[in-house]
Structure 1
Amino acid sequence: MNRTARLYALVEELRAAAPRPLTVAALAARFEVSTRTVQRDLQALMETGIPVRTTSGRGGGWSIDPQMTLPPIRFTTDEASALAVALAAADASAPYAAAARTAAQKLAASMTGPASTASQELAARIVALPARNDSAVRAAVEQALTRNLVLRLSYLDAAGRESDRVVEPAGLLTANGRWYLIAWCRTRRAGRGFRLDRIAEAVPTGEQAQPHDLKELLLNSAAAGAVQPTALASLTPPP
């Protein structure tokens, strides 16, 4: 068993035993490797964000929170290929690109057989031209959206004019390969779209933003007809 497969199997072994902890010695015996190897693997899982934890003392060992992980997912070859294409589209300039990369690593580790082969072969045939990557701006926008925080922006319009804005984020719009932050602009007292690659600086203020309906902010704009991507419909809670 190679290391990638063993890491995946370790997670499933801990899930099956949860909430009971397993000792390093027991895991080493289960996978027929040294305790040092298991310890190194468990540390690697922690570093990638897998919710494994260790407790010391009598009855201690390693465990995982099953509510924070997904059970095994069996992808078809078509589904695996679709994921390869979707993750390729999440380039460095896209929102949550870093999370997309770690998700891709976890998906790759979980796939085996024809599905894994299909995704690897297709991934090798996809290339992209590098895009402008302002990680500080992207991280600030992600934080503001996730925590519903007011943002202070320095923004360049299509003519290159710079202005300072204070905005309350409502959501994201993607169109023709571009990403836009849709927000209520306190400066203009109206809904506005801010192209992410034109945001020169973004700073979360720490102030909680007022809730704004994304569809309402898009009314009477060029993006009024925007709809939710079909692939995301199953992730959205019912009204």
Structure 2
Amino acid sequence: MGFFTFFKLMTVLFNLLIFLGGLTLLAVGIWVSAAEGSFLRVLGPFSGQGLQFVNVGLFCIVIGAGLLLLGLLGCCGAHKESKCLLLTFFSIILIIFIAEVAVGVVALVYSSFAEEVIRAWATPALQKDYGSDPTVTNIWNTTMTELQCCGLSNHQDFVGSKFVEENGGSLPPSCCRTGGAPCSPNDAERSAVHGCFDHILETLKEQANIAGGIAAGIGILQIAAMVVSMYLYCYLDKRIN
């Protein structure tokens, strides 16, 4: 088997893997977007402002769909020995690779102060929206019930809130060990139910790690695919000339 035939087969193989990787990334993007849609509503105003330009789920969907098309394009270019398709494939995948690196850098930078950002927006949401906004209330109730936690940090997040004022000083039932109403601040203090922040942050980290791991694997495949596609392009260029 000559070098050209070997690289041709490798190009097809890498593009097949890129196609499968794009399909996986697309599925992860849909999953992250579905989970993110619910979680961001929990964070209240942060859902409409802070992540408008850092939407990991949407990014995964767009890149995944693009990789699906690129996988097909690369396979066709290698099979038909088309210089035009190979060059187009190389150029587009290089642009996508640069975009992935840029987003990865942004994600690393923002993850360093994710805790402060979450606390800055979630606590005001509990103070103003919990009990009055059905969506926020239902999501927080579900989160606190399933995770057996209270508020973001603890029951103090509800002290002085609109919910407490409208319910005669009672806190959400999840803030007391008994899980029943009424739940007074003194009962909540004795119960010492932990906050939901650690669970929420862990969920975000798990999603980020999964998406990051898949993106890193696809990035390696992209580099390999660019190398073999450029080799094929140069070989065809020399053969034609």
User: Which category of TM-score, normalised to the shorter sequence, fits these structures?
Assistant: under 0.3
What is the TM-score when the length of structure 1 is the normalising length?
Answer: 0.26
What is the TM-score when the length of structure 2 is the normalising length?
Answer: 0.26
Relative contact order, CA 8 A, sep 6+: which one is greater? 2
- Indicate the structure with greater strand content: 1
Between structure 1 and structure 2, the one with the greater Rg is 2
- Indicate the structure with greater helix content: 2
